[in-house]
Amino acid sequence: MKSLDSINEVSSKKSLKSICKEKPFIVINTSCGIGKYRFNKIGYDSKQRLIFEYSLINDNNYKDTSSILFKLGKYYYLTAEQLLYAFKFLANS
pLDDT band at residue 4 under the 50/70/90 scheme:
very low
**Which backbone phi and psi does 37 adopt, to 5 degrees?**
-125, 155
Q: What is the pLDDT of residues 35-85, one digit of tens each?
A: 999 999 999 999 988 999 999 999 999 999 999 999 999 999 999 889 888
pTM, to two decimals:
0.81
Instruction: Name the pairing type of β-strands 75-79 and 33-44.
Output: unpaired
Output the CA torsion 16→18→24→26 (10° steps).
-30
Q: What's the confidence (pLDDT) of residue 20?
A: 85
List 75's β-bridge partners, or say none. 55
